[in-house]
Structure 1
Amino acid sequence: MDIRRVTRFEAVEAAGHLFDAPPVREAAERFLADEGHHLLIAYVDGVPAGMATGVEMTHPDKGTEMFLYELGVDDRFRRRGIGRALVAALARLARERGCHGHWTATGQDDEPARATYESAGGAPETGQVVYTWEFDQP
């Protein structure tokens, strides 16, 4: 397995099956152009097998931390440690970039995600609730 930080849309497009929906060129290029946004793709024998996106977030009283925005592994490559390796690679990148921590959120009933995050050294926080706001598209 080879994990690479992706900086070109063509690599995103070639790994499009790993995302929830087909990548949109304008959005992907905007993501890739921001130095605080990171896309890692795991390749197995040259085939995109998994991906993780991370976003650096800075707050005046907390410093900078890495948000693991999304993790995806192709069904054909699951249960081989690819998700764990991607989470660990993003954590290494976060440390290299001076982040004081790394975090994510997932569904309480998403056992595969929770197992992956815990196997990569993450610990669930108790008593947290995630709120979302949905906006109409312009």
Structure 2
Amino acid sequence: MVVIRRATSPAEVMAAAHLFDGPVRPEWAQRFLNEPTHHLLIAALDGVPVGMVTGMELTHPDKGTELFLYELAVDPAHRRRGVGRELVEALGRLAHERGCHGMWVAVDPDNLPARAAYAAAGIAEEGPATMMTRELRDPAARESGGEADTGDTDPEGNRPTAGADGGPAPDRRPTG
């Protein structure tokens, strides 16, 4: 039986690192977990993480508080067993308990497994949307092709320049 619980320590997040798009850094995990409006749920089978979902509460003056489902991942060996649906439903319950009036997610149109998991959890498609992004770099870095100025650094003040495999740092846009 899959057990879903909220992550409360970087060690729990690191144990689920294989579920994330890119390398997980303990200091970033701690920063995420320190925010009371950020939520990370991990699904485990026999103590082994097999899925995770992250969400962040957003409050706007004319919309109130909603939950943005940032990322959902299920280990390939455990897909099509309802784990994704269970994670989304658990996040929805948490959002409701915290006073959110709704939950939304951006998903790539060709990501059929994610769309199926969201639909099974009661999330309705509202139609096409276009995601636009802008990297935040200082002007000198932008001109030289330097890295984004995210403000995130390692303990020595260095910014990440490579992914876990030594290649370029991973794209951090939401993938749903």
Q: TM-score range by the shorter chain?
A: over 0.9
Tell me what 1:9 maps to: 10
Aligned-partner Cα distance in 2 for 1:80–1:16: 21
Counterpart residue identity of residue 66, structure 1: L
Separation (CA, whole Å) in 1 of partners of 2:85 and 2:99: 21
Compute the TM-score of the two structures, normalised by the length of structure 2.
0.76
Query: Structure 1, residues 58-85: CA drift from partner, whole Å, max 9, x if none?
Result: 0011110000000000111111100000
Aligned to 1:137: 148
**1:111 alignment counterpart:** 112
Q: Secondary structure at the match of 1:108?
A: coil
Runs of 4+, deviation exceeding 3 Å: none
User: How many pairs are equivalent?
Assistant: 138
Identity %: 58
Aligned AA (1:73): V
In 1: Cα distance, 2:78 partner to 2:128 partner: 33
Q: In the TM superposition, what are the counterparts of 1:1-138 in structure 2 within 5 Å?
A: 1-135=2-136, 136-138=147-149
More strand per residue: 1 or 2? 1
Q: Which string of whole-angstrom CA distances, capped at 9 and with x for unpartnered residues, describes residues 58-113 of structure 1?
A: 00111100000000001111111000000000000000000000000110111111
Q: SS of 2:110's equivalent? A: coil
Structure 2: give runs of 5+ residues left out of the alignment: 137-146, 150-176
Contact 2:135 2:148 in 1 (8 A): no
Q: Deviation of residue 130 (structure 1)?
A: 2.0
TM-score between both structures, scaled by the size of structure 1: 0.96
3-state SS, counterpart of residue 26 of structure 1: helix
Q: Write the letter of the residue equivalent to 1:14.
A: A
Deviation by residue 1:29-79 (Cα, 9 ceiling, x = unmatched): 110000000000000111100000010000011110000000000111111
Structure 1: gaps of 5 or more residues: none
Q: Which amino acid aligns with 1:75?
A: P
User: Which whole-Å CA distance do the structure 1 matches of 2:50 and 2:135 have between them?
Assistant: 30
Give distance in 2, aligned partners of 1:85 and 1:120. Answer: 7
Q: Which has the larger radius of gyration?
A: 2
State the distance in 2 between where 1:2 and 1:133 align.
38
